[in-house]
């Protein structure tokens, strides 16, 4: 028997390859201009988070003298060296794309002006705007006079200022000014005398123009100012002091995060060399750290919100529509109690989720609502519905994950709001993040207890539901809801309730049985292939980095199982190997919407098993989080999911091939061009006109 290979692609290198696919979208001339600018913002934001989390983790491993076990053949230092080279190449490509976009913006009569090329009227406007809107938010730091280098705020950009006199090169003074993007928009539209032309100046350039006024006290004559930015370690250790509540521990951790060590320093390559050296030395960085020279503009994440009003021929997103089973009903609850319903966002409207919770809040027969929450919208309709339920006398329990990275502060605020309204808030399990997306509603009618709710692949966030592709199964299936109830029993009593998770026999649950069940399903396909029977595995995930499952997929391909994968982000699997009897096929789709759903399909000797899950195939998801996956019971829904996946596998417009070399080559278009997100929209829209069949629940 041929042995399967045992090598993988380093996780962080694969992630950088994913971000390169985002950059490809920004470079694609067929993508609308405002979307190309948005993709540059997404690329920048992604990279910030990568440095704050992954690069910081690698640096910590080095400082502790530990090797990164998730990287099988390379040390953390080698990974960091590779990251530096790749990031510098990507930065160069980023700058090239931005320059092309600037040219296209000019053709569209959208001009970004600097402080050096303003008309007289615009100079007056900028001076007045600064005095009225900006000056009160500008607080220069005279860094030469400060003994300890000042705290640099995360996610902020700073103008590094050099002041000098014309007749002396020696009398110079340095200062740092935080660009106040939290208080003032970064994009300010200038008055223009040219019809149809939009002229925009960035906030930092308004400050540059007014430097003589800001520093008038010193009577300097020459000023130069260039953007710099520090990226810091975003991790914080939870202090497991039993005297502290989890809330207090999170609050302490957030304070520690703000004092995190710099892991990257980006700067305008035109910055004064002496000031650059000074900043590197004072901030405790060395030439070995990630020092990234760039162009004039940094913190491109703000460009995700570039003013859309300036673009001609506005291209709005396709509007979501009502799922076919819910399009002609006044009560979502009535439908769910009769049949399972699958919502596929962002194609389907998110409103049924809100309506379900609102109905439950008012239904006199409903006694309890239990729900998990990971990332909530800033103006959350979900929270409003839950608060209304509590006000109406329902018992409402929200399992709120306070450790959702970068949403910790938001979730602390939601905790306080919910508890003030009488909602019971459960704040998770030590050492396990609660990432499952589940809801249970209990009602008593005619002396019977009825449970219904949902299992989802994505967050209960009405804002991201318009951009993220996810699936949500609304169901009253007794076996599914019994397991959902067991999960909540565990989450509410995690110190004594571990037995509840072990009792789950319908759902796949992390960290108890999910890994075991996945391996069991893959092994069944291997057994079928070795018996010369048809065998196939199709997985759609955000990330694939778990060695155990990757090696099992290698074993499957070596045995002759057809393995097809749609992986949006990290894919550590080497998909090409001579030992594979059937070549593995892996693609990544990066397009208008973010592919976030997790779907698994096993041939299962012709009795196809279709699963939707909240979990990626990563160690953290399978071993260190509470996750939930559900096997689809209704054949019509299983068929719909399979057909959606088949459309994606046929994508030849936005699909890239995930090969061993991470080249991100597009799938070649042969025959009809298929852009899967457009095709899926049309596929689901057509179903709204088809007659719905009512199927009674088991």
pLDDT tens for 197-220 read 999 999 999 999 999 999 988 888
Q: pLDDT for 77-108, tens place per residue?
A: 889 899 999 999 999 999 999 999 999 999 99
Q: What is the pLDDT of residue 240?
A: 46
Q: What is the pLDDT of residue 263?
A: 81
Residue 4 has pLDDT above 90, yes or no: no
Other CB atoms within 10 Å distance of the CB of residue 472: 26
CA distances 308 to 5, 23, 92, 126, 303, Å, are 50, 20, 26, 22, 10
Residue 272 has pLDDT above 80, yes or no: yes
Burial class of residue 140 in the structure, from the number of CB atoms within 10 Å of its CB (0-12 exposed, 13-18 middle, 19+ buried): middle
Candidate from 217-231, 244-258, 414-428, 598-612 with smallest mean pLDDT: 244-258
Q: What is the pLDDT of residue 193?
A: 82
Other CB atoms within 10 Å distance of the CB of residue 450: 17
Q: pLDDT for 494-539, tens place per residue?
A: 888 889 999 999 999 999 999 999 999 999 999 999 999 999 999 9
Residue 123 has pLDDT above 80, yes or no: yes
Q: Is the dihedral of CA 579, 583, 584, 590 positive or negative?
A: positive
Cα 681 from Cα 408, distance rounded (Å):
34
Residues whose CB falls within 8 Å of the CB of residue 5, separated by 6 or more in sequence, listed in order: 554, 558, 574, 577, 579
Q: Are 130 and 208 in contact (CB under 8 A)?
A: no
- Quick one: pLDDT band at residue 696, thresholds 50, 70, 90? very low
- Region 559-567 average pLDDT: 98
CA distances 587 to 27, 319, 538, 540, Å, are 19, 27, 12, 10
Candidate from 360-364, 408-412, 530-534, 547-551 with smallest mean pLDDT: 408-412
Map residue 364 onto helix, strand or coil: coil
Is 471 a residue of the active site?
no
Q: What is the pLDDT of residue 693?
A: 44
What DSSP letter does each residue of 109-159 carry, written as one string?
Answer: TEEEE-TTS--HHHHHHHHHHIIIIIGGG---B-GGG-SSPPP--TT--EE
Please name which of 569, 610, 611, 562 lies closest in space to residue 587, comparing C-alpha atoms: 569
Q: How many helices (H) and strands (E) in the chain? A: 20, 25
- Quick one: pLDDT band at residue 192, thresholds 50, 70, 90? confident
**Where does 278-365 show beta strands of DSSP type E?**
290-294, 341-345
From the list 435, 471, 494, 596, the catalytic residue is: 435
Q: What is the pLDDT of residue 233?
A: 77
Q: Which one is the CATH code of 11-310: 3.30.1840.10, 3.40.1190.20, 3.30.499.10, 1.10.274.10?
A: 3.30.1840.10
Q: What is the pLDDT of residue 412?
A: 86
Check: CATH 3.30.870.10 for 338-507?
yes
Residue 697 has pLDDT above 50, yes or no: no
CATH topology of domain 510-687: Endonuclease; Chain A (3.30.870)
Cα 443 from Cα 415, distance rounded (Å):
25
pTM above 0.75, yes or no: yes
Computed over every residue of the chain, the mean pLDDT equals 90
Residue 72 has pLDDT above 70, yes or no: no
Q: What is the pLDDT of residue 74?
A: 61
Residue 692 has pLDDT above 50, yes or no: no
Residue 361 has pLDDT above 60, yes or no: yes
558-573: b (≥16 Cβ within 10 Å) or e: bbbbbbbbbbbbbbbb
In the chain, what are the domain boundaries? 11-310, 338-507, 510-687
Candidate from 27-31, 367-371, 414-418 with smallest mean pLDDT: 414-418
DSSP percent split of the chain into helix, strand, coil, nearest 5: 40, 25, 35
The secondary structure element, H or E, covering residue 517 is: helix 514-530
Domains 11-310 and 510-687 share a fold: no
- Region 399-405 average pLDDT: 82
Cis peptide before 265 (omega within 30 of 0): no
- Quick one: pLDDT band at residue 19, thresholds 50, 70, 90? very high
Cα 203 from Cα 180, distance rounded (Å):
8
Residue 267 has pLDDT above 70, yes or no: yes
Token pair of 112 as six digits: 């970004």
Q: pLDDT for 24-54, tens place per residue?
A: 999 999 999 999 999 999 999 999 999 988 8
């Amino acid at each position: 028997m041929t042995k399967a290979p045992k090598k993988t692609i380093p996780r962080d290198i694969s992630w950088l390859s994913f971000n390169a696919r985002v950059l490809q979208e920004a470079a694609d001339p067929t993508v609308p201009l405002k979307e190309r600018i948005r993709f540059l913002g997404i690329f920048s934001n992604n990279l910030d988070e990568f440095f704050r989390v992954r690069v910081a983790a690698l640096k910590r491993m080095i400082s502790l003298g530990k090797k990164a076990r998730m990287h099988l053949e390379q040390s953390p230092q080698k990974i960091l060296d590779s990251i530096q080279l790749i990031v510098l190449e990507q930065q160069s490509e980023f700058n090239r794309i931005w320059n092309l976009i600037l040219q296209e913006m000019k053709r569209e009569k959208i001009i970004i002006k600097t402080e050096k090329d303003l008309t007289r009227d615009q100079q007056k406007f900028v001076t007045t705007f600064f005095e009225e809107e900006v000056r009160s938010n500008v607080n220069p730091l005279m860094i030469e006079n400060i003994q300890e280098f000042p705290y640099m705020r995360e996610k902020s950009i700073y103008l590094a200022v050099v002041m000098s006199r014309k007749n002396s090169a020696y009398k110079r003074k340095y200062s740092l000014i935080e660009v106040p993007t939290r208080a003032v928009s970064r994009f300010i539209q200038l008055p223009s005398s040219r019809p149809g032309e939009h002229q925009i100046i960035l906030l930092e350039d308004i400050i540059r123009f007014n430097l003589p006024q800001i520093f008038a006290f010193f009577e300097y004559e020459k000023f130069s100012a260039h953007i710099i930015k520090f990226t810091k370690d975003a991790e914080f250790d939870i202090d497991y002091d039993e005297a502290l509540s989890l809330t207090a521990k999170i609050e302490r951790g957030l304070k520690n995060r703000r004092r995190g060590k710099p892991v990257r320093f980006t700067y305008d390559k035109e910055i004064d060399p002496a000031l650059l050296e000074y900043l590197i030395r004072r901030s405790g960085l060395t030439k070995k750290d990630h020092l990234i020279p760039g162009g004039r503009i940094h913190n491109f994440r703000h460009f995700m919100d570039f003013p859309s009003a300036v673009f001609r021929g506005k291209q709005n997103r396709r509007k979501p529509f009502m799922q076919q089973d819910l399009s002609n009903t006044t009560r979502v609850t009535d439908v769910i109690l009769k049949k399972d319903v699958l919502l596929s966002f962002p194609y389907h409207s998110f409103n049924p989720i809100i309506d379900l919770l609102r109905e439950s809040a008012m239904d006199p027969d409903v006694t309890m609502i239990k729900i998990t929450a990971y990332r909530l919208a800033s103006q959350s309709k979900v929270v409003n519905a839950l608060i209304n339920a509590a006000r109406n006398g329902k018992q409402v329990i929200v399992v709120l994950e306070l450790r959702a990275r970068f949403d910790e502060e938001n979730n602390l605020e939601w905790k306080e709001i919910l508890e003030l309204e009488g909602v019971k808030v459960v704040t998770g399990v030590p050492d396990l993040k609660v990432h499952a997306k589940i809801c249970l509603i209990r009602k008593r009618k005619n002396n019977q207890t009825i449970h219904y709710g949902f299992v989802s692949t994505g967050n209960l966030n009405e804002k991201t539901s318009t951009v993220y592709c996810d699936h949500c199964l609304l169901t009253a299936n007794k076996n599914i809801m019994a397991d959902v109830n067991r999960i909540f029993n565990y989450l509410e009593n995690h110190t004594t309730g571990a037995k509840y998770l072990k009792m789950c026999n319908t759902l796949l649950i992390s960290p108890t049985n999910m890994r075991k069940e996945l391996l069991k399903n893959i092994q069944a396909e291997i057994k079928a292939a070795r018996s010369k029977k048809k065998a196939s595995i199709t997985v759609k995930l955000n990330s694939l980095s778990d060695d155990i499952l990757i090696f099992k997929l290698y074993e499957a391909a070596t045995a002759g199982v057809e393995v097809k994968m749609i992986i949006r982000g990290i894919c550590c699997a080497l998909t090409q190997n001579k030992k594979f009897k059937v070549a593995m096929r892996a693609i990544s789709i990066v397009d208008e919407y973010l592919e976030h759903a997790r779907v698994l399909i096993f041939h299962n000797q012709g009795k196809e098993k279709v699963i939707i899950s909240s979990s990626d195939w990563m160690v953290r998801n399978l071993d260190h989080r509470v996750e939930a996956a559900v096997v689809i019971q209704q054949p019509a829904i299983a068929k719909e999911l399979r057909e959606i996946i088949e459309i994606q596998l046929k994508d030849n417009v936005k699909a890239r091939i995930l090969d061993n070399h991470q080249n991100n080559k597009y799938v070649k278009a042969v025959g009809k061009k298929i852009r899967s997100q457009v095709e899926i929209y049309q596929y689901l829209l057509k179903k709204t006109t088809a007659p719905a069949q009512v199927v009674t629940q088991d």
